[in-house]
Amino acid sequence: MSHPPSHARSLSLHSTLPLTFHLSPTSLLSTGPPPLPLTLPVLRTSYIHEASKEAVEEFKSYSMAGLGGLNIGRVEEGASIEGSGSGATTPPQRSTISHPTTGVCFTFSTPSSPLINWMLPVGVIVDLHSLSLGYSSVLDSTRNLPYKIMLHFGGGGGGGGKEAVSVPRYESGDDRRCFLNSLKQAMHLENGNGRRGGGMTIKEKEEAWRKANDGGERGGEEEGGGEDWRRGGGQEVTWDGVDGRTEEEIRVDEVRRGILAGDDDDDDGNEGTGGGGKGGCIPVRVIRCQEQNRVIQRLIGGPKVTVGEVLKRCLGEEGASGVEKILINGVWDVPMGMQVGPLWYTLRMEDRFLYVCVR
């Protein structure tokens, strides 16, 4: 039985991943036992520093860096997003501050795991990890649940080499700034200009960030929206829905703006340039699991462009032909011939980008 798009979208937004946080041995005080691991249900759309706040508070008394406060340095040049209209994603440098999660970094517990790119949603991070381990199906990827995350105080950890230095040092609020920057980029690509993203109010920005990390749970409670969304109740709160529109009304509006209307082709059926036009283009990013901190972004045109065409534009003919697995927001083996419009509507992240992870 097929579900209506709005229901499928809701399932995508509200799906959680079981993450078990462990304190890294290198961060542990020399005396005393390590803390017990902490397992948390984490939204796919959330960001790792927001998702790990409880673990950081739990573990910091077991670490010298956590006890003494973290020595905050300048942000290093880090992971980039390549391609047209990408903008700057590395947070700006700033003066020394003190914050519990500043300088904290994460790796998976597998040997030689690279530093986790905190600028990506958790769902993308887990998808890349599953591909890097050679998994080929959802059954493979769920055999060893929960996903084990090592928490490092003071910026340690990582498998060394390029990957270990390619992630910028995190400072408080950097993930929120990167998320909002990404959201503005996506709306620029959709609309052909930055008017809608640039015109977001402070309230809308806060709602967007909150929705990404807790599914609007607190917003539903504060506004009498009913039960916790994890139990199937509550009202979704997004910056798109602040004006009271329903999910279907939002979708109709997006169709009218050409996001799902196929404006990338001309009257003769020729493929458009994807440069904006009437309806803009679909915001898509491609990431290879072998290069997890290299996010590739191109102008790919409207919703009729296929996944295979997206990969050719981002990876080149040779790179696309070498792709053996495609994973999008937990969905395995997406067909090369499938159009990105329906995928974007159902499986995009809260920054409005569709993340295509490949191996």
Q: Are residues 289 and 194 in the same domain?
A: yes
Peptide bond before residue 168 is cis, with ω within 30 degrees of 0: no
**pTM for the structure as a whole:** 0.75
Structure tokens at 136: 């080929």
HSE-up of 176 (CA within 13 Å, CB side)?
Answer: 13
CATH label of the domain that carries residue 336:
3.10.20.90
Q: Are 33 and 18 in the same domain?
A: yes
Query: What average pLDDT does range 262-282 have in this prediction?
Result: 44
pLDDT at 284: 96
Q: What pLDDT, on the 0 to 100 scale, is given for residue 101?
A: 62
- Of 122, 149, 171, the one marking the end of a domain is 171
**Where a domain ends, among 143, 171, 199?**
171
pLDDT in tens, 148-161: 999 998 765 554 43
Closest CA to 259 of 189, 179, 311: 189
Same domain, 136 and 187: no
- Does 343 lie in the same domain as 208? yes
Q: What is the pLDDT of residue 82?
A: 60
| Statement to judge: residues 322 and 217 lie in one domain | yes
Identify the domain boundary among 171, 197, 230. 171
Q: How many independent structural domains does the chain possess?
A: 2
In this structure, are 322 and 353 located in the same domain?
A: yes
Supply the pLDDT for residue 27: 87
Domain span holding position 139: 5-171
Give dist(CA 277, CA 171) in Å, integer: 38
Q: Is the pLDDT of residue 232 over 90?
A: no
91 with 197, same domain: the answer is no
CATH number at residue 115: 3.10.20.620
Q: Is residue 305's pLDDT more than 60?
A: yes
Do 107 and 207 sit in the same domain of this protein? no
- Residue 338: the pLDDT is 95
- Do 194 and 289 reside in the same domain of the chain? yes
Average pLDDT on 295-312 reads 92
Give the pair of three-digit tokens for residue 338. 């499938």
Average confidence score pLDDT of the chain = 75
Which pLDDT score, from 0 to 100, does residue 5 have? 56
Shared domain for 198 and 316, answered yes or no, is yes
pLDDT in tens, 28-65: 887 778 899 999 999 999 999 999 999 999 998 888 76
284 lies in the same domain as 338: yes
Mind listing the pLDDT tens digit for each residue in 202-218?
999 999 999 999 876 54
What is the DSSP secondary-structure string of 138-195? Answer: HHHHTTTPSEEEEEEGGG--S--HHHHHSSPPP-TTHHHHHHHHHHHHHHHHHHSSSH
Q: Is residue 136 located within the same domain as residue 154?
A: yes
